[in-house]
């Protein structure tokens, strides 16, 4: 995540699942939320999973 200065400031989200060398931009927090919530990657810890 990064904060982009502005009025109001904007939070931009990148997916780092492929590694920090190749971040995948997902957009704002609101735009990224459904994408992240739908992620089925097993290496990602999910609060609703054991």
Each residue's pLDDT tens digit, 24-40: 999 998 999 999 889 88
pLDDT for the residue numbered 26:
94
Separation between Cα atoms, residue 18 and residue 14, nearest integer Å: 10
Confidence of residue 45 (pLDDT cuts 50, 70, 90): low
Claim: this prediction has a pTM higher than 0.85: no
C-alpha angle 13/15/16, rounded to 5°? 125
Rounded to the nearest integer, the mean pLDDT of the chain is 83
Torsion of CA 34, 38, 44, 50, to 10 degrees: 110
């Amino acid at each position: 995540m990064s904060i982009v200065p502005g009025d109001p400031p904007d939070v931009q989200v990148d997916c780092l699942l492929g590694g920090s060398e190749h971040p995948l931009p997902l957009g704002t927090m609101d735009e990224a939320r459904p994408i992240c919530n739908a992620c089925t990657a097993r290496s990602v810890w999910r609060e609703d999973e054991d």
